[in-house]
Amino acid sequence: MGYSVSINVTHLQEKLNKSLKQAVDHLLDQRNSNGFWEGKLSTSALSTATAIMALEMIRRDRQSKIIAFNTAEFNADELSSPIKKGLHWLSENQNSDGGWGDSIKSTSNISTTMLVHASFQAASQNKEFKEIKQKAAGYIKKEGGVPALIKRYGKDKTFSVPILTHCALAGEVDWKKVQGLPFELSCIPARFYKTVRLPVVSYALPALIAIGQVGFHFNPTRNPITKLLRDWARKPSLKKLISIQPENGGFLEATPLTSFVTMSLAGMGLSDHPVAVKGLQFILNSIREDGSWPIDTNLSTWLTTLSINALGDNLPDENVSELKKWICDQQYQTVHPFTNTDPGGWAWTNLPGGVPDADDTPGAILAILKLTQSNHQHETDPAIQISLQKGIIWLLDLQNSNKGWPTFCRGWGTLPFDQSAADISAHVIRSFSAWLNSNYSQSASEQLKKRVSKAIQSGFQYLSQTQHDDGYWLPLWFGNEECENNENPVYGTSRVLLAFRDTDQSQHSEAIKGCQFLIQNQNSDGGWGGMKNAASSVEETSLAVEAILGIQPDAPELKAGIHWLIEKVESGEYLTPSPIGFYFANLWYFEELYPQIFMVSALKAAFETLKS
């Protein structure tokens, strides 16, 4: 499918139409056999290192039990083969400075390099990969070692303690340097988690339990009361761990989190524990042909809703009903064991390890409404009406006291990845506005509609408070390695401006100020990076162009940006992703479909604007 254009069109419109059709057709071709988008996440040195360590800890524990108890032998090759293959992949992807980044396109960092070096030390022979290990050790020393790692994450123990635990299991770090995690707190009712201020983010409960236990196993506290409490908490917390593990074994569908849990259990002699057994199977099922592991299984729900919202009426009519049903089927119908949130939200994936959140939920709501419009459906479907209302109420109940929206849990404001975020809040506002302006809100109660209207208003108040003096907003789950503090003001500002656009507030002073920030940070080549002088990317340029079109469509700078995008389609470079995504705390990834989806959305907006 494509766009028809009139005979009297400008040269730019002709090129734009051609590029748009090419990008649309290619994005449609990326659907899987079931009609939705799965995408492909970047392979990860960090994931690969943690998977190797988990396999090595299980191999050691099982081997020791064979020797000690004369139990039946296990197939050692089942573990040694993927370990060896993973080590070879890591050796082939070491950066020239001796370190590793999170993705194959990422610069080296202390976290991933310490994990990889520890895995080499634990799972390879003394002389094997000697030069690789020496270069890695040199990088770690140069960057500052353990103190530098701790400084990188500050008060957030979500990642620093698991990394140190990984290294301690390998014999690279003294257990006394690994801060103990209060795993006993997992035994209290979930509604009190935010009250006790856990040292890890809301979605890292499995790590709190397993890593807390292995730390206590090797370095028990000297406080007699705490020791007594933790001795008691071992069994109930492990029981809790069993109850929150997804059926496929993968916590959050993430290899790193699942590996940290699995290596911790195996490290203290529990390789045969049900959680470790299921974790092992998930890890083995997640390995790629080249011996590496991805950061997560897939972002299927997120990518599908993004694609639908980008394509709009370019989605074939015969796929509309099928996709509506598929998205509705992904909505959570029970309280989630991780976050204790009520039914009604959506996660990033259709797989068991997902967790409902405030970015995927508005994306799903917008996609369902977009599909309804695409199908020219004037009568409301009762099932969809119920689904949408549940999603709307779920988001209303998640709004924080500061009037912004967090990712997973209301009230968890202690650590950065649990706080309200501008980009997520803007996404929620867009979904609220779209629902209010749809047929599906007409039968809703006046009380609910008033709640939504009030939430939109207070949400904009939050956005006003979080806009920086220079006019930009910062996102939570996306960054740019070339920018100061790895921030990405172009991404954050672009996402927020779409909320002003979609609520007919494009001429609001804050929107104009944000738009001017984007214009001022355009690179000399016509594209955008995370901010001025950061290398232009398809993702960031697409977002900036679409945002500016929604606020200041006559901005002369747009022409260069649109030409930049067209050139990337014509050359095929728009299929090359950039590492702008965060997963957990400062863990970089890229997704192959991001540039394609963002490109379609931007070109479509540009074409519609020029056509009018």
Q: Cα–Cα distance between 271 and 71 in angstroms, integer?
A: 14
CB 544 within 8 A of CB 564: no
> What is the reported pLDDT for 191?
62
Q: Positive or negative, the Cα torsion across 489, 491, 492, 496? A: positive
How is residue 359 annotated by DSSP? T
> What is the reported pLDDT for 153?
83
Higher pLDDT, 80 or 337: 80
HSE, side-chain direction, 13 A CA sphere, residue 155: 9
Structurally, at CATH architecture level, domain 43-294 sits in Alpha/alpha barrel (1.50)
Task: Determine what percent of the chain is predicted with pLDDT higher than 90.
Answer: 80
Annotated domain spans of the chain: 43-294
Tokens of 490: 């172009």
Taking residues 533-539, report their average pLDDT: 97
**Amino acid code (one letter) for 312:** G
Name the pairing type of β-strands 588-589 and 43-44. unpaired
Q: Cα–Cα distance between 486 and 580 in angstroms, integer?
A: 9
Asked whether the predicted pLDDT for residue 6 surpasses 60, the reply is no
What Rg do the C-alpha atoms of the chain give, in angstroms? 25
Assign 538 a pLDDT band (cuts: 50, 70, 90): very high
Q: Cα–Cα distance between 144 and 389 in angstroms, integer?
A: 51
How is residue 106 annotated by DSSP? S
Tokens of 242: 């069993």
| Residues 6+ away with beta carbon under 8 Å from 530 | 479, 480, 482, 483, 487, 488, 489, 490, 491, 540, 580
In 30-72, alpha helices (H): 45-69
Q: Which of 488, 481, 610 is nearest to 543 (CA)?
A: 488
CB 548 within 8 A of CB 512: no
How is residue 37 annotated by DSSP? -
**pLDDT tens across 451-462, in order?**
999 999 999 999
Assign 116 a pLDDT band (cuts: 50, 70, 90): very high
Taking residues 211-238, report their average pLDDT: 95
Taking residues 101-127, report their average pLDDT: 94
Q: What is the DSSP string of 23-50?
A: HHHHHHHT--TTSS----BPEEHHHHHH
Taking residues 500-508, report their average pLDDT: 96
Tokens of 154: 């500050």
**pLDDT tens across 306-318, in order?**
999 999 999 998 8
Asked whether the predicted pLDDT for residue 9 surpasses 60, the reply is no
Q: Cα–Cα distance between 530 and 582 in angstroms, integer?
A: 14
Buried-exposed string 444-463: b where 16+ CB fall within 10 A, e elsewhere: beeebeebbeebbebbbebb
Q: Which of 456, 112, 156 is nearest to 293 (CA)?
A: 112
Q: Cα–Cα distance between 492 and 540 in angstroms, integer?
A: 10
Task: Summarize the chain as % helix, strand, coil (round to 5).
Answer: 60, 5, 35
**pLDDT tens across 411-441, in order?**
665 666 678 999 999 999 999 999 999 999 9
Tokens of 575: 């299929």
Asked whether the predicted pLDDT for residue 68 surpasses 60, the reply is no
SS (H, E, C) 415-464: CHHHCCEHHHHHHHHHHHHHHHCCHHHCCCCHHHHHHHHHHHHHHHHHHH
Task: Determine what percent of the chain is predicted with pLDDT higher than 70.
Answer: 92
Average model confidence (pLDDT) for the chain? 91
How is residue 73 annotated by DSSP? P
**pLDDT tens across 458-493, in order?**
999 999 999 999 999 999 999 999 999 899 999 999
> What is the reported pLDDT for 126?
72
Give the angle subtended at the CA of 39 by the CAs of 33 and 41, to the nearest 5°.
145
Q: Which of 69, 63, 68, 103 is nearest to 83 (CA)?
A: 63
CB 337 within 8 A of CB 244: yes
Q: Cα–Cα distance between 376 and 560 in angstroms, integer?
A: 35
**pLDDT tens across 234-271, in order?**
999 999 999 999 999 999 999 999 999 999 999 999 99
The CB density around residue 392, as the number of other CB atoms within 10 Å, is: 27
Scanning the structure block, which residue is given the tokens 């979605």? 203
How is residue 405 annotated by DSSP? B
CB 261 within 8 A of CB 206: yes
> What is the reported pLDDT for 413?
59
